[in-house]
Amino acid sequence: MTATAPEYFTDLDPFVDALLEKVGKKVVIAGGFGRPVHIFNALYKRAVADPSIQLTMITGASFCRPRGSSDLEKRFLDPFVDRVFGNLPELDYVQPYMRGQLPENIEVVEVFLQAGAYMNNRHAQQNYVYSNFTHWLRDMVEQGCNVFSQMTCKREIDGQLVYSMSGDAYALDILPRLQKLRDEGKAVAVIGQVNNELPFMYNDAIVPPETYDFVLDHEQYNHTLLGPPAPAVETADYMIGLNASALIPDGGTLQIGIGSLGDAITYGCIQRHEQNQRYRDVLTELGIVNNFGEIIEQVGSLEPFDTGLYGSTEMFADGFRHLYNHGILKRAVYDNLPLQRLLNAGKIETSVTPATLDLLVEENLISARLSQVDVDFLKKYGIFKETVALVNGVLQCAEGVEVAADLGDADAVKQIHQHCLGDELQGGVVLHAGFFLGPQAMYQQLRDMPEAESKKICMTDIAYVNQLYGCEEIARAQRLHARFINTTVMVSLLGAACSDGLQDGRKISGVGGQYNFVAMAHALDDGRSILMCRSTRSKGETVSSNIVWNYGHVTIPAHLRDIVITEYGIAMLRGQREKDVIARLLNIADSRFQEELLAQAKAAGKIPDDYEIPTQYRNNTPERLARIAGRLRPEGMFPKYPFGTDFTAEELVLAQVLQNLKVKMGSRRTLFKALAGAVGVATASAEAAQPYLARMGLDQPADMKETAIQKLILAELKEAGYA
């Protein structure tokens, strides 16, 4: 933190001038998902124009707007992207970065790659830092970071200007590290770009102006937040989500991520809470209750969430918003260890009663003769009303009543019960998270939240949510029955998981906080690590198993194995013998690959030669799951977008139409068939097709090419029953 107020700027050029003057021409700027795009772009342009500037940008997942590769794709994507991403500026360095054309004086260092986008990018693969996100801020300093940047927002509270780190509060951990460098006489800067589109988050996210050396603040730099649209949830994802939801005990702690599997878990939890009998019936029909009921009974529950869940997560993904809206994310935790322990033990409830006050005295949390410290404590947590004040040993209440601050005086106690006690504990947090990322609807809800409600969410230091070190006592008290649920790509039959890279060394994405959550699950007495893995993957017409005998890259080592879930069931691996680990993973593998995997295990001598996979696990096929899901969809279950979508109704139809066309164009035989079918379609299109053609800009084709494309789309619309 600087000792003085920051310098404020309304224009980029003088801002960059001041920054270069402070740190010199070797700029190592770091920023996360909430990186200030305008500042990054201004520095990039300055370094392109001036090769004497050495610019290193340390970041994660350099997103760019989706772009179509064909005329059809562009017609479909461009209006959608413009609508959803609004005026979110592009990162100017991304296209040269992707093409391998960065100038020699500019480099990009990433800890998390946009999934699969940089597999063959030499610059990205060579400059990648393989680091747990938990330690990323430390490693930024190791990489020579001398500028830390973020978007921020501001508000006046009690007459004082304050800033909120909002969705980038994870970065609190880097501030003391940079201060240490500053104390050593090194030139460093913490910079902020105000963006009023950011939700103002309270609690730990609030920082004083002196946090920043330079602040860029002008309305022209407000812009739409990065908000990837919610993906479709497929049948296999739903089944994995249902299985995961059964392993979450009521009153527990939850960590989940972004994407279709995170949405599937959320959906499963909501079904369990609001449609409990149907939820149970589906799990029974799927064979989950019969085959894995003992695991569910031991680790989770099928009951509704009466007590509710508390979230402790690296990423505040959109699933948590829906869990909150459906009354599931509601178990509040408190930053006072003795108070939290009393709640855990059931000695007090969240509702305040006279017995609450008695117990606090009995447990020595307050004195019978109330001091100012005691009154402040009671008011902070809602045990006393906010209007109560202590003046010269007397409690003054809003009604003008004055009461002796003496809990040893029976008459005073009666008055205190009547005039001072609150109704419910206050100051509780239902979600601790390091950063957020979600669709625009999520940001809008956060912006619209009343202050009291917003304060139930604490965006905080990544070191707090991702590990126990430095906060172990309070973290253990808060994180009861923790279920840390993460996604992996492949699982070996001995329980090792590959989540982020290939065996030739290329990285697909990044480890994020996965390793730390797995390790923390083992460190917590009642915690469990749950890894979700789709049983197969497809490339073209080739299907491969994601349950493999072994693999040359490991993210989670086998000695940290715990629970693995596929769409076919649950494998509890912790503390099990090798032969039992193999057997349990075979039970949840796709049946097309079970025998080959079993043979590999037998050849290695890791399972008895006479072992056979039990009959009840030999029908693990996508066709069986599709039949069950297909029967339930007319009842309203398993919608493609369980929490809505940014696509319009016309766009959802067109997406299907274009996908069908793409498949047909990939095969000469089906393409000829499609063209033949389109020839007979009248140019004057059916009225029902007009909204779809207008959306693609093809309602009035300008030339023969557009006419041909129009006919292809019309033919597909007719075949699908939309025209």
- CATH number of the domain within which 612 lies: 3.40.1080.20
Please identify which residue in the block is written with the tokens 């601790």.
Answer: 432
Whichever domain contains 171, its CATH number is 3.40.1080.10
List of the chain residues with pLDDT < 70: 1-3, 664-685
How many distinct structural domains can be found in the chain?
4
* 631 in any annotated domain: no
Domain extent at residue 408: 338-343+350-419
DSSP string, 327-376: T-B---B-S-HHHHHHHHTTSS-SB--HHHHHHHHHTTSS-SB--HHHHH
- Whether residue 61 is found in the same domain as residue 138: yes
What is the predicted pLDDT for the residue at 658? 87
Same domain, residue pair 212 and 241 = no
HEC secondary structure over 455-482 = CCEEECCHHHHCCCCCCHHHHHHHCCCE
**Any domain includes 24:** yes
Residue appearing with tokens 């599937």 = 264
What lies within 8 Å, CB to CB, of 237 at 6+ separation is 260, 261, 263, 264, 534, 567
Does residue 226 form part of some domain? no
Structural domain ending residue among the three candidates 576, 599, 617: 617
Are 41 and 126 part of one and the same domain? Answer: yes
In this prediction the pTM is: 0.94
Q: What is the pLDDT of residue 688?
A: 86
Residue 608 falls inside a structural domain: yes
Containing 592, the helix (H) or strand (E) segment is helix 591-603
Amino acid 659: pLDDT: 85
Position 3 scores a pLDDT of: 55
Inside any domain, residue 388: yes
| 713 neighbors 657 (Cβ within 8 angstroms) | yes
Is residue 545 situated within a structural domain?
Answer: yes
Same domain membership, residue 366 and residue 322:
no
- Same domain flag for 47 and 186: yes
45 shares its domain with 87: yes
- Domain boundary pick from 221, 255, 288: 221
Same domain, 442 and 471: yes
Which pair of tokens denotes residue 487? 């996604």
Q: Quick one: CA torsion of 401, 402, 408, 410, rounded to 10 degrees? A: -40
| Domain presence at residue 635 | no
Q: Are residues 474 and 574 in the same domain?
A: yes
Mark which of 221, 249, 276 sits at the end of a domain: 221
Q: Give the strands of the sheet with 389-391, arranged side by side.
A: 389-391, 394-396, 402-404
pLDDT at 664: 67
Co-location of 284 and 305 in the same domain? yes
Q: Do 404 and 448 belong to one domain?
A: no
Same domain assignment for residues 363 and 464: no
Closest CA to 107 of 96, 119, 117: 96
Asked if residue 60 and residue 142 are part of one domain, the reply reads: yes
In-domain check, residue 523: yes
